[in-house]
Homo-oligomer: A and B are copies of this chain.
Amino acid sequence: RTRNEVLFFPSKMACINHIFAPSSPQLCFCPLPHGVETSFSRLLRCILSASSSLDLCVFSFSNMDLSRAVLTLYSRGVTIRVLTDKDYAAITGTQIGVLRKAGICVRCDVDSVYMHHKFSVVDNRLLITGSLNWTRTAVQSNMENVIVTEDPDLVRPFIKEFQKLWLHNDPA
């Protein structure tokens, strides 16, 4: 059966530290609830399931937990490509500079008015897409949706579109 899941936001707040280190014992003393599954923890798990590649195409990226997820994947040797909007790459609180400094390959859309996508593809197999920018407000305060699917009819066009945009915005 093809994996198909819809997540709605705002997400409840809960500790997500254990998701980053599933194998080590869970001793966290932060004030957030523990052992609670939320839309955001589901989203993080999907992203952190990447074992070979993560292609991310997102308008606005300032969420520090999501940045931590991308950096974690990078430290595990996962190939990361980030495509973002040229204007929003420079705003306050953006994580784009952090990713770049870590060595992650980032390209900015230079042509369109807004590069307004909010999708990612995990291991060329799992599509994560919807209305949700990778910001704290989107996760914690807005009404948002995210579709997580392995349906090839949906995943394939996004892989193709990412490739097109990536090549088109070649910094060379």
Query: Of the candidates B8, B116, B131, B137, which one forms a contact with A143 in the assembled complex, judged by CB atoms under 8 Å apart?
Result: B116
- Would you call B116 and A154 a contact (CB within 8 A)? no
Digitize A10-45: 1 where CB-to-B-CB distance is under 8 Å, 0 elsewhere: 100000000000000000000000000000000000
A109 adjacent to chain B (CB < 8 Å) = yes
- Would you call B161 and A145 a contact (CB within 8 A)? yes
Knowing A129-B145, A147-B147, say if A153 contacts B4 (CB, 8 Å).
Answer: yes
- Would you call A115 and B143 a contact (CB within 8 A)? yes
Query: Of the candidates B114, B118, B144, B153, which one forms a contact with A117 in the assembled complex, judged by CB atoms under 8 Å apart?
Result: B144
The 3 closest A-B pairs by CB, nearest first: A4-B153, A113-B141, A6-B157
